[in-house]
Amino acid sequence: SKAPIAVIGTGIAGLSAARALHDAGQAVHLFDKSRGSGGRMASKRSDAGSLDLGAQYFTARDRRFGETVRQWQSEGWVDQWSPSMYQSHDGQLKPSADEQVRWVGTPTMSSITRGLLGDMPVNFSCRITEVFRGEQFWTLVDATGVSHGPFSQVVIAVPAPQAAALLSSAPKLAAVAASVAMEPTWAVALGFATPLNTMLEGCFVRDDALDWIARNRSKPGRNGELDTWVLHGTSSWSRQHLDLPKEAVIERLHGAFAELIDCVVPAPEFTLAHRWLYARPAQAHEWNALADAGLGLYACGDWCLSGRVEGAWLSGQEAARRLLENL
């Protein structure tokens, strides 16, 4: 009975699990509803070049993750980003340099998940809507009604609200996933023909509307015609303005940016808004990963640990470890 293992989700959690399983000699098949890998750490292609609209950078506090990031660096998938960092206090900007090592994918965030995917088999543009177990094997059904299988085990690596729906074979796991609240984030990109006259390259704002600002070209390997900036709304502002039209979101966050930043902000040449509905878990958990070893059903993702790239990667490792331990 050597059916492959299905991994649903090609974000960093799913690819962390899939790589570990593949490296242990298991056959893996991945699925993702998007056209490419990366999930919330994907970079988006746009008329202003590739943009990091989701994860902006990541830190490595766990020893194993730190070692892995060093390997990614030697593969050429990541590099350090050392922005001229600021923070805002009551609307006032202040330089806020620190010693924190911060990493980004190069030349785009997606380089990491693309590298991890390698030549493992994957179905993109394939949204899984049902996961069920027959007598011996698992079958997945996609949104167009097509069945995929048989699979020996299934690893679900999607945000908690979406995982809950796919975990119905294991009601206890489904209930845990359903208990996780996830917060939205509005992301806006602004591209300027003339570089803005500021030193600022990254800024923790945590204001009413704005949470974070980053200057795209300050990241290693990014080059574009325009001086492009990424703005993130806070969770609460984003929740309150969840259904605001994109043009209005751009206008509001552009306004907050222009008010905050210490230079003249002309009309942008390029604008784009993206709504992340499940951007981050409202709180951290210590679940590592969810497992029903008897059934052969596993779940992982940032929501099982911290809502960060590192947490998602560690959760994927843990799902793979538990699966292998139960073979």
Total binding residues toward ligand FAD, as defined by CB under 6 A: 37
CB count within 10 Å of CB 161 equals 15
Question: With binding defined as CB under 6 A, does residue 99 bind ligand NAD?
Answer: no
Q: Say if strands 297-299 and 153-156 run parallel, antiparallel, or are unpaired.
A: parallel
Amino acid identity of 267? A
Question: With binding defined as CB under 6 A, does residue 284 bind ligand NAD?
Answer: no
Torsion of CA 159, 165, 167, 173, to 10 degrees: 70
Total binding residues toward ligand NAD, as defined by CB under 6 A: 15
- Here the tokens at position 75 are 């593969």
Question: With binding defined as CB under 6 A, does residue 241 bind ligand NAD?
Answer: no
Selected binder of ligand FAD within 60, 309, 320, 323 (CB under 6 A): 309
> Is 135 in contact with 145 (CB distance < 8 Å)?
no
> Which residues have a Cβ under 8 Å from the Cβ of 42 and sit 6 or more positions away?
34, 36, 54, 109, 110, 113
Give the footprint of ligand NAD on residues 126-185 (CB under 6 A): 185
Question: With binding defined as CB under 6 A, does residue 34 bind ligand FAD?
Answer: yes
Instruction: Report CA-CA distances (Å) from 239 to 164, 182, 303.
Output: 21, 10, 18
Question: With binding defined as CB under 6 A, does residue 182 bind ligand FAD?
Answer: no
User: Which of the 8 DSSP states describes residue 22?
Assistant: H
Question: With binding defined as CB under 6 A, does residue 82 bind ligand NAD?
Answer: no
Q: Which stretch binds ligand NAD (CB under 6 A): 12-20, 95-103, 213-221, 249-257?
A: 95-103
Give the binding site for ligand NAD (CB under 6 A): 58-59, 85, 87, 96, 98, 100, 185, 204, 211, 232, 279-280, 307-308
Give the binding site for ligand FAD (CB under 6 A): 8-14, 31-34, 39-41, 54-58, 127-128, 157-159, 162, 185, 187, 232, 276, 279-280, 301-302, 307-309, 312
